[in-house]
Amino acid sequence: MIFSAIRFSKMIKLGHTLFALPFALSAIMLAYSEGKSLTLEICLYIILAFVGARAFAMGFNRIADRKFDAKNPRTKNRELAAGNISLIASIFYTFLFGTLLVFSAFMLNTLCFYLSFPALIFLAFYSYTKRFTSLAHYVLGFAIAMAPLGAWIAITSSMNLGIIIFSLALLFHISGFDLLYSLQDEKFDKANNLFSIPSKFGGRFAKKLSLITFAFALICLFATGFLFDLNFIYFLGISIVGFIYFSEHIIIKFSSLRHIKLVFFNMNACISLLIFIAITLSVLIEC
Q: What is the pLDDT of residues 52-64, one digit of tens each?
A: 999 999 999 999 9
In this predicted structure, which of 8-12, 143-147, 219-223, 261-265 has the lowest mean pLDDT? Answer: 261-265
Q: Is the pLDDT of residue 202 over 70?
A: yes
Domain at 2-286, CATH class = mainly alpha
> What's the confidence (pLDDT) of residue 250?
78
Beta strand segments in the chain, E: none
pLDDT band for position 209 (50/70/90)? Answer: very high
Residue type for position 58: M
Q: Is the pLDDT of residue 258 over 70?
A: no
Over the chain, what is the mean pLDDT?
Answer: 91
Nearest residue to 217 (alpha-carbon basis) of 280, 140, 271, 282:
271
> What's the confidence (pLDDT) of residue 259?
62
User: Buried b / exposed e across 114-148, counting CB within 10 Å, b at 16+?
Assistant: ebbeebbeebbebbebbeeebbbbbbbbbbbbbbb
pLDDT band for position 15 (50/70/90)? Answer: low
* pTM, 2 dp: 0.94
In this predicted structure, which of 79-93, 161-175, 197-211, 264-278 has the lowest mean pLDDT? Answer: 264-278
Q: Is the pLDDT of residue 217 over 80?
A: yes
